[in-house]
Structure 1
Amino acid sequence: MDKRELGAFLRSRRERIAPADVGLPAGPRRHTPGLRRDEVAHLAFISTEYYTRLEQARAPHPSREVLEGLTRALRLTDSERAHLHLLAGVEPQRPVGPPRAVRQSILDLLYRLPQAAAIVLSATHEVLAWNDLACALMEDFSALPRRDRNLLRRVFLGPKGPGGRRLYGVSDVDEFARTSAKQLRAAAARYPDDPEVAGLVEELLSGSEEFRTLWESHDIVDRVALCKTFAHPVVGAVSVNCDVLDIADRDQQVVIYTAQPGSPSEEALRLLSVLGTQRMDAPG
């Protein structure tokens, strides 16, 4: 534990927060920038005396609960939270299950990609966020209950579409099935105490012989195909490049589908961006 650095870090974070940021009045007698020590202590649910000793490098080893309270009170980012724990000599507590909250900056990125279909996947292949073109290319995720937005359930347990199509008629569905099953094994090892992960594994084991065979291979892989073709029921075949961006601190992935410039698939994506999720092939 580096008491001096910990105190300096806490003081620097306290001084950067305006009272209005946490719903407090500025008041006429405020002579220092940021929050007062007693205000931080109140927000973190600790005593003012103990917080003061932390800043003055005189306090004993803070508990994980105290550090989490300070993280909330000082509105620390994920990186700052990790740094706070490092200075205090406390291992940051790992989440029990895969994080599901998507950063606002990532959500903004999705909507700034009007010519690309993009989704955010959790460690268990749950679709957490999407843009409009992804809904037009794949399906309207907003209309599905949470459990049905899991691509592992869709590929191993979901019904086949017209002509035996699985998972949006994507060309590499068998490769995706193999890859995603092995990625789930790695996720289960990272989150051994999460009942949702364990429940998903049991559901797939009991409902899919294909998944059971893949699971029992104990293989671990971490990437899907770079190119694939969607058999879309309205615009036909849409061939896309598939790029995966890791969000390491959230154990999430951004999957971006783009078509080659000037290709028929690019024209198909443009048409889908206009059509949206309406089904022109549906009977009237």
Structure 2
Amino acid sequence: MSDNELGTFLRTWREAVTPAEAGLPAGPRRRTPGLRRAELATLAGVSVEYLTRLEQGRDRNPSAQVLGALADALNLSLRDRMLLRRLAKEGDGGDPLVCAAAPPLSRAARPTVRAVLDRLEPAPAAVLNWIGDVLAHTEGYARLTGPIGLLDAERPNLLRYVFTDERARAAYPDWDRVADDLVAQLRHEVPLRDPYVAALADELSVTAGAEFTERFADLAVTPRRVGTQHLAHPEAGELRLLHETLTLPDDGQRIVVHLPADDSTAAALDRLDGRRPGALRAVGGRTG
């Protein structure tokens, strides 16, 4: 894991923002599509030399005003602005309100959380901790993910499955997008120096190689909270699933609920659950 997360974040975003997005002309002989240091420095009202020190990790204590100016120049979302501030404070070693330690890694769901899962049956739903361990799930989730091998391990982990089990590539036609989201969640949800995150990242760097490490190094990718996931199910066929994520921040957990995005998926889930056709209805909403 890099010890210059702030500099990596700034450089990654600078290289990702085009001159047009920043209101600048592209100009001739541009080597990369992103902004030059001089351009970002001008937009943010700082010197090129100071921006260089930030990107190289030689200065790790920018003021709130500088962070705000850089965030405005890069047109960062609220989520990314919060991450930028957190990276600055983690790099400086201070501000417990921004970079407080995460709660102890949870290995079980509380009884009341399990009771919530019971109320969600037969919808596919699971409780995950911040490193992707599946702590509890509905029977509907087992019927959905059991046949693709996700629950085979003694301690199922979504990231290990996606990055190290060949069945995941067959199960997820949009594997790259699923992988992007999972790594972004790992990077953005908890302190980056958390030992459990570091241990899992080290493990997957060895077992999955560049497909994991390149994603883990990309701080410009943020996780989607909602969206459509495609699943090639060996029993139910092609499924299009919407997912919603409900966070339990005090527990370091989240509940992920999958719902049918169209009528054919609703009918397929009915068949998996042994219910009469039409028991489930497709859920309208944003897809992507």
Smaller-chain TM-score range? 0.5 to 0.7
**Across the two proteins, how many residue pairs are aligned to each other?**
174
Distance 1:100 1:94, change over 3 A: farther
State the structure with more CA Rg.
Answer: 1
1:125 equivalent in alignment to 2:132: yes
- How far did residue 206 of structure 1 move? 2.0
Contact 1:240 1:258 in 2 (8 A): yes
Contact 1:119 1:127 in 2 (8 A): yes
Q: Deviations over 1:71-128 (max 9, x none)?
A: xxxxxxxxxxxxxxxxxxxx9x955643233121221111222231101111111111
1:219 equivalent in alignment to 2:220: yes
1:205 equivalent in alignment to 2:196: no
- Residue in 2 that maps onto 1:175: 177
- How far did residue 232 of structure 1 move? 0.8
- How far did residue 132 of structure 1 move? 0.5
- Residue in 2 that maps onto 1:145: 154
Distance 1:265 1:224, change over 3 A: same
- Residue in 2 that maps onto 1:55: none
- How far did residue 143 of structure 1 move? 4.9
CA distance in 2, matches of 1:178, 1:260: 21
- How far did residue 129 of structure 1 move? 0.9
- How far did residue 220 of structure 1 move? 5.3
- Matched ranges for 1:6-85 at <5 A: none
- Residue in 1 that maps onto 2:256: 255
Query: Taking CA–CA contacts closer than 8 Å with sequence separation of 6 or more, which of the two structures ends up with the larger relative contact order?
Result: 1
Distance 1:205 1:269, change over 3 A: same
Q: Deviations over 1:50-91 (max 9, x none)?
A: xxxxxxxxxxxxxxxxxxxxxxxxxxxxxxxxxxxxxxxxx9
- Residue in 1 that maps onto 2:245: 244
Contact 2:122 2:138 in 1 (8 A): no
What residue identity is the alignment partner of 1:250? D
Distance 1:137 1:100, change over 3 A: same
- How far did residue 233 of structure 1 move? 0.4
Name stretches of at least 5 consecutive residues in structure 1 with no aligned partner.
1-90, 276-284
CA-based RMSD of the aligned residues comes to: 2.7
Identity %: 27
- Residue in 2 that maps onto 1:154: 161
What secondary structure does 2:199 align onto? helix
Q: Deviations over 1:9-37 (max 9, x none)?
A: xxxxxxxxxxxxxxxxxxxxxxxxxxxxx
Deviant stretches of 4+, over 6 Å:
none
Q: TM-score, normalised by structure 2?
A: 0.54
- How far did residue 139 of structure 1 move? 1.2
Distance 1:95 1:231, change over 3 A: same
CA distance in 2, matches of 1:248, 1:116: 23
